[in-house]
Amino acid sequence: MKKIYFVFAILVVSICSCSDATLTDGPKEYLVLPEQPYAYDQLNLPQGTSPTIFDDFGFINGQPVFNGKMEVTPWGATLGRVLFYDKKLSLNNTVACASCHHQDKAFSDGKQFSTGFEGRVTTRNSMAIINPILQNNLFWDSRSQSIHDLSLRPVINHIEMGMDNLDNLVGKLENTDYYKPLFLKAFGTEDISPENISKAISQFVASITTNRSRFDISQKDGSSNLNSLEIMGMELFNSDKAKCASCHGGGNMAAQDGPNDPYGSGGGSFGSPTDDLKGATNIGLELDYADNGLGNGRFRIPSLRNIDLTSPYMHDGRFNTLEEVIDHYTNGVKPHKNLDVKFTDGHGNLKRLDLNSIEKKAIIAFLKTLTDTEMTKDPKWSNPFRS
């Protein structure tokens, strides 16, 4: 297929080396965007997922539904892509969203903790971005319920990007030549506002979807391209013995936290029926947590899609390998007072998972079938800057 690139910035680079003086030390970067935007509004979600209605996005059969607040449009998400990769969003032009969210690692960064503005280090492990449109709760402690609400937080967070004043950000973008035409295309106005910056980033983040792993293909075909060890692992994953799917469940292999789900607002078998567990639980990593997450050592049950790409694991990146994670479930779970009842015998006594070494290998083999390399290479989510 012949690709026509529209080089937005040729002009910018030549006439605007003045404002480039404030750019990073590295080689000068210029922006390359396709003439026609990618179809960000065509979302590929996993089979068996029923799209969640966020407060700002809704999707029905993979199609975005405008519910009065926001929708994903090809130009909106294109602008979001540029913002996501642009280091100008940080106070000293050194950190972009993409510094801690790498496409080739399913948007995690491979580090226990990440380095943000002026070398400051985050206190939690950078999260992969996995079908965020299917998550009711965002962040390790489920503290955000909307991508829109989340999208400017890292920018104003001093550790991550250090931008303490959104008016400064608006001013900076106004002085960057490629933004006005992009805002015009995305929102019909050259006016740059924090609200529209946030909307565009949200649209890009919302467009990140993954459903093309070997596991997905085998589900779609009905035929199995999985080997016998992987199939054994899949069966165990879904079994009462290993219990994985009872937490990492459904098509997104993540918290079941819709209304009336076990970890949702219905409270299911845990908590009172009025509690909203926000998709989070305590898996006994500690007897006494330094970081209590959502409270009582509860952290969001993350999606296991692309898990082979996103080590190290857990909210504090304490485990480097999937073997260490499974060993935690079989040997490491601690009897914390708020431990999920699935790790007890029903009388409050600790009961870790019982899996032999072949079973552990099988589960890990299955987890590795959840890798979607199409997503990690898809140009629509890639860095649009060239140097």
Q: For binding to ligand HEC (CB under 6 A), which residues are involved?
A: 84, 95, 97, 99-101, 114, 116, 122, 124, 126-127, 129, 132, 135, 138-141, 150-151, 154-155, 160-161, 201, 205, 242-244, 246-248, 281, 283, 285, 299, 301-302, 304, 307, 310, 313-315, 322, 325-326, 329, 340, 342, 353, 363
Please identify which residue in the block is written with the tokens 């080089």.
Answer: 7
Least Å distance, CB 114 to ligand HEC, is: 4
241 or 386: whose CB is closer to ligand HEC?
241
| Residue 216 CA, distance from chain mean position | 19
82 or 100: whose CB is closer to ligand HEC?
100
Least Å distance, CB 223 to ligand HEC, is: 25
- Alpha-carbon distance 109 to 115, whole Å? 10
Cα 261-265-269 angle, rounded to 5 deg: 55
In Å, the largest CA–CA distance within the chain is 73
Classify the C-alpha dihedral 255-261-263-269 as positive or negative.
Answer: negative
Q: What does the block give as tokens for 224?
A: 């199995």
Least Å distance, CB 376 to ligand HEC, is: 16
- Alpha-carbon distance 164 to 284, whole Å? 37
Least Å distance, CB 41 to ligand HEC, is: 19
Least Å distance, CB 142 to ligand HEC, is: 8
Least Å distance, CB 111 to ligand HEC, is: 9
| Residue 83 CA, distance from chain mean position | 17
9 or 353: whose CB is closer to ligand HEC?
353
- Alpha-carbon distance 193 to 51, whole Å? 29
CA distances from 121 to 87, 114, 124 (A): 17, 6, 9
Which of 262-265's residues contact partners 24+ apart within 8 Å by CB, and which partners? 263/301, 264/136
Least Å distance, CB 202 to ligand HEC, is: 8
CB 286 within 8 A of CB 335: no
13 or 238: whose CB is closer to ligand HEC?
238
Determine the residue type at 90: S
| Cα-only R_g, the chain | 22
Least Å distance, CB 269 to ligand HEC, is: 11
91 or 155: whose CB is closer to ligand HEC?
155
Q: What does the block give as tokens for 307?
A: 């898990």
Least Å distance, CB 187 to ligand HEC, is: 18
Closest CA to 285 of 315, 263, 248, 243: 315
Q: What does the block give as tokens for 16?
A: 């605007």
CB 107 within 8 A of CB 129: yes
Least Å distance, CB 295 to ligand HEC, is: 13
16 or 361: whose CB is closer to ligand HEC?
361
13 or 239: whose CB is closer to ligand HEC?
239
31 or 326: whose CB is closer to ligand HEC?
326
97 or 375: whose CB is closer to ligand HEC?
97
| Residue 364 CA, distance from chain mean position | 21
82 or 138: whose CB is closer to ligand HEC?
138
- List all residues 6 or more positions away from 128 whose beta carbon is below 8 Å from its beta carbon: 105, 106, 107, 108, 302, 303, 306, 309, 310
Question: What phi and psi values does residue 234 have, to the nearest 5 degrees?
Answer: -65, -40
